[in-house]
Amino acid sequence: MNSLLVADTVSKKFGDFTALNDVSITVPEGSIFGLLGPNGAGKTTLIRIINQITMPDTGSVTLGGEPLQQHHIRDIGYMPEERGLYKSMKVGEQVLYLAQLKGMSKAEAKTRAKHWFEKLEIGDWWGKKIQELSKGQAQKIQFVVTVMHQPKLLIFDEPFSGFDPINANLIKDEILQLRDEGATVIFSTHRMESVEELCDHIALINKSNKILDGEINTIKRAYQNNTFDIGVQVVDETAFAKAQQQLASSFKVTPAQFKSLGNEHKLRVEMGDNGTPNELLSTLQTYGQVTHFVEVIPSVNDIFIQTVSQNK
């Protein structure tokens, strides 16, 4: 797969504060790339460098193989975390103005805007002022402004904050459709669970350093630990207690948390390299009815916490 955007050892300092320290990322074309990390990690700084709002101290960024240049702003659609529009300007005029700033002709902008307004069913907002709209409605306009010039690269900083669940879903579907039409998407967020399901690639940033990146399934596979949540409806309590001790001697066994209707024993068993799920299952069968047997796939959040604590 071709890479659309490559940031190579990018560093940025503000005075004594290092915002980014030799961060490199590669965003494959047509992917949804998650830029994840806690608040203040440096995600927004990296995005601003990609948008040419700030310049890196060292390192380089290329888009489609070319070093970033002024004309590349037309290929990027950016929805910043701090969203805003001119409050006393009419929706239609504003959308056309911002599209023209991105290099579209007025006629072209008008056609595209009409298309989006119909698609999102907001056609009757055209002549309204932004201050007459609700916050969620204004966010929709912001989304239209971001995607209207059909950019190759879409960057969303904290995309779903401020959207109600219905609109968040609507926007999510639109983004997925844009991806299917060929756009590459970068999501930046500190709420990792919110975009985990959408991303196929991620990079984790913590305290100005990139600590992990790659394809999300590869990463998860690397962090999966042969761990299963099990539920057993036990027949013989004393025998099971003995079996539990036996399990604990070879594996890490902790109480598991999952929802069930019965009063079965709930355990989380980390087998590592010492066993297979089949062996575990056949052992458990002998003590009673197995009601629950699910592999625990590490969440990005778990991976993040684990990586950060390892790096300390």
Partner 1 sequence: MTFLSPLILVGMILLISYLTQLNSEDKRTIVVVDESGQFETVFFNTDKTSYVNLSDQGLDAGKEVAKDDAYYGLIHISKNPETATNPVTFYGNETPSFDYIGDIEDRIEKRITDQNLVAQGINLTVLETAKSTIDINIENFSGESSSKMSNWVKAGFGGAAGYLLMMFIIIYGNMVMRSVIEEKTNRIIEVIISSVKPFQLMMGKILGTTLAGITQFAIWVLVGGVLLVVLTAFFGVDPSAATAVNPAASQAQQIAQDPNMMIELLQEVQKLPLLQLVGGFFIYFIGGYFLYSSIYAAIGAAVDNETDTQQFMLPIIMPLMLAIYVGFFAVIDNPHGTVATVFSIIPLTSPIVMLMRIPFEVPLWQIILSITLLIATFVFTVWFGSKIYRVGILMYGKKPTYKDLIKWLKY
Closest to partner 1 by CB, 131 vs 286, is: 131
Closest to partner 1 by CB, 80 vs 159, is: 80
Which H or E run includes 297? none
Q: How many CB atoms lie within 10 A of CB 141?
A: 24
With contacts defined by CB under 8 A, name the span among 24-32, 78-86, 163-171, 231-239 that binds partner 1: 78-86
Closest to partner 1 by CB, 112 vs 220, is: 112
Q: How far, in Å, CA of 24 to CA of 56, rounded?
A: 12
With contacts defined by CB under 8 A, name the span among 30-38, 96-104, 181-189, 268-276 that binds partner 1: 96-104
Q: How far, in Å, CA of 60 to CA of 57, rounded?
A: 9
Interface with partner 1 in residues 38-57 (CB under 8 A): 48, 51-54
8 A C-beta contact, residue 203 and residue 33? yes
- Tell me: does residue 73 bind partner 1 (CB under 8 A): yes
Q: Which of 36, 41, 83, 194 binds partner 1 (CB under 8 A)?
A: 83
8 A C-beta contact, residue 79 and residue 23? no
Pairing mode, strands 288-295 and 184-189: unpaired
Closest to partner 1 by CB, 98 vs 267, is: 98
Q: How far, in Å, CA of 4 to CA of 184, rounded?
A: 8
Q: What angle do CA 260, 266, 272 make, to 5 degrees?
A: 130
- Tell me: does residue 82 bind partner 1 (CB under 8 A): yes
Give me the residue label for tokens 């109600």: 164
With contacts defined by CB under 8 A, name the span among 23-31, 74-82, 168-176, 192-200 that binds partner 1: 74-82
Closest to partner 1 by CB, 102 vs 266, is: 102
Interface with partner 1 in residues 218-247 (CB under 8 A): none
Q: Which of 9, 58, 60, 101 binds partner 1 (CB under 8 A)?
A: 101
With contacts defined by CB under 8 A, name the span among 29-37, 60-68, 69-77, 197-205 that binds partner 1: 69-77
Tokens of 187: 């999501």
Closest to partner 1 by CB, 33 vs 78, is: 78
Pairing mode, strands 32-36 and 201-206: parallel
Three-state SS at 264: coil
Q: Which of 20, 49, 96, 145 binds partner 1 (CB under 8 A)?
A: 145
Q: How far, in Å, CA of 128 to CA of 93, rounded?
A: 10
DSSP state of 162: T
- Closest CB 35 distance from partner 1, rounded Å: 16
Q: What one-letter code names the amino acid at 131? A: Q
Q: Which of 78, 116, 143, 156 binds partner 1 (CB under 8 A)?
A: 78
Residues that bind partner 1 (CB under 8 A): 14-15, 48, 51-54, 70, 73, 76, 78, 80, 82-87, 98, 101-102, 142, 145
